[in-house]
A and B are shown apart, each in its own frame.
Chain A
Amino acid sequence: MEYKDLTKRYFDGELSPAEEQTLHDELAAVADNALTNDERAAKAMLHYASLKSNASVSVKLHESRTHGRTRLTDAIVALCSMRYARIATTAVLGVVAIAMAIHLSQPTVYGYHNGKPITSYDEAQLLAQDIFDNLAHDGFAENHDLQKLFTLD
């Protein structure tokens, strides 16, 4: 008589698959006229499910290990699934990531002033401007030969 309680819980969605199987077996053993409407419905549903779960299909499978590419892929999978290979791969990737992080975190050197690296873009621009200004004042102003080049007469 366990099926009476199981039927109520079945419709509330509270049974485990194993309990549903028990309910199916118990209801199958009882004649329909001894069952209530709910129990008869549960019996029909469970019977329908058991009929449907017998359907089968054939699928054309690919041949394993006969094709060259398949063998190669399997070898890669086997290699990737090896514990030590995974540890080694992780370690190498970690080292590469750290090296890249260090490289990217280093400042850009735009030039050197009195042996000191210039890493600020603004400072580099100012220094470059100074150099050109100095050249204009000290060099070109006194260079008469060069001035003649730009004189028409």
Chain B
Amino acid sequence: MHSEELNREFVRLKDAAYRYAVSLLHDHNEAADATQDCYERLWRRRLIIRSKSFDSLVMVTIRNICLDRIRQRRRAWQPSSIEELESLPPSLGSAEQRESADIIRRVMENLPSREREVLHLRECEGMEFEDIARIVGSTESAVRMACSRARNRVKEEYIKIMNYGV
């Protein structure tokens, strides 16, 4: 892949990679750094990169970078503070919608990491189960199951909070 093609394709995918990094790292600044790192890694390897499966390659690379950063963070004993967790843009939707979205965000944050990851790639990036399976290193049916399980968990928690304020 030549440099112009790499730049063009990466610009197309950078926001999806960034959002995926935010969902894994829960930190906007660190996610932005991870996205830049991802680009640097791909730039160094552009000679051997084929454009055919570039989308998956970007997502797999950003995932590996994020997992490395999470491991480093654990070693350094510096958990991210609650204030640094991702937040939603305040200007979008009505107050009721924002409240609902905030509940969904909090419920999603408490999901097991694999389910949260799958749910993010499916819901926010609109990816096919087949592509998600390639990124997370699983099978399509396992990913489909994880997604369904995650949605049902979120649903149950959401209903509980909305109806009973739990």
Contact = CB atoms under 8 A, between A and B. Distances in A.
B7 A62 contact: yes
Contact of A13 (B89, B100, B147, B159): B147
A11 B148 contact: yes
Contacts of A62: 3, 7, 43
Contacts of A37: 155, 159, 162-163
Interface in B80-110: 88-89, 92-93, 96-97, 100-101, 103-105, 108
A42 B103 CA distance: 13
A52 to B, nearest CB: 5
Overall SS of chain A's interface: helix
B35 A57 contact: yes
A131 interface: no
A17 B128 contact: yes
Interface stretch (A74-82, A84-92, A104-112, A120-128): A74-82
B124 interface: yes
Interface residues on A, range: 35 or more
Given A37-B159, A60-B36, A45 B19 contact: no
B3 A70 contact: yes
Contacts, number: 121
Nearest to B32: A57
A77 B2 contact: yes
Contacts of A41: 154-155, 158-159
B148 A56 contact: no
B22 A55 contact: yes
B124 A49 contact: yes
Given A44-B158, A47-B97, A77-B47, A54 B89 contact: yes
Query: What are the 5 tightest A-B residue pairs by CB atom distance, in nearest-first order?
Result: A13-B148, A49-B123, A57-B18, A44-B100, A48-B104
Interface of B: 1-4, 7, 10-11, 14-15, 18-19, 22, 31-32, 35-36, 39, 43, 46-47, 88-89, 92-93, 96-97, 100-101, 103-105, 108, 120, 123-129, 144-145, 147-148, 151-152, 154-155, 158-159, 162-163
